[in-house]
Amino acid sequence: MKRKSYPLRLHPDVYAALERWANEEFRSVNAQIEFLLADALRRQGRLRDAVPTGDESTDQS
């Protein structure tokens, strides 16, 4: 599956917190952001369950 690239600007403190969290869970920052977004969308019933969570190593950026 081809991934959509999207430029994202974050406050340095937000990025640092994401980076720490991603490291704790052995993910890249990109995978952590994708995981968090997919989780939030699922919780709101806006995303089907078959969409990858960001844990997969198929990043094609």
Indicate the pLDDT class of residue 49, thresholds 50, 70 and 90.
confident
What average pLDDT is seen over the chain?
A: 88
Indicate the pLDDT class of residue 60, thresholds 50, 70 and 90.
very low
pTM for the whole thing? 0.76
- pLDDT > 70 fraction of the chain, expressed in percent and rounded: 80
C-alpha to C-alpha distance for 54 and 35, rounded to whole angstroms: 5
Mean pLDDT computed over 45-57: 71
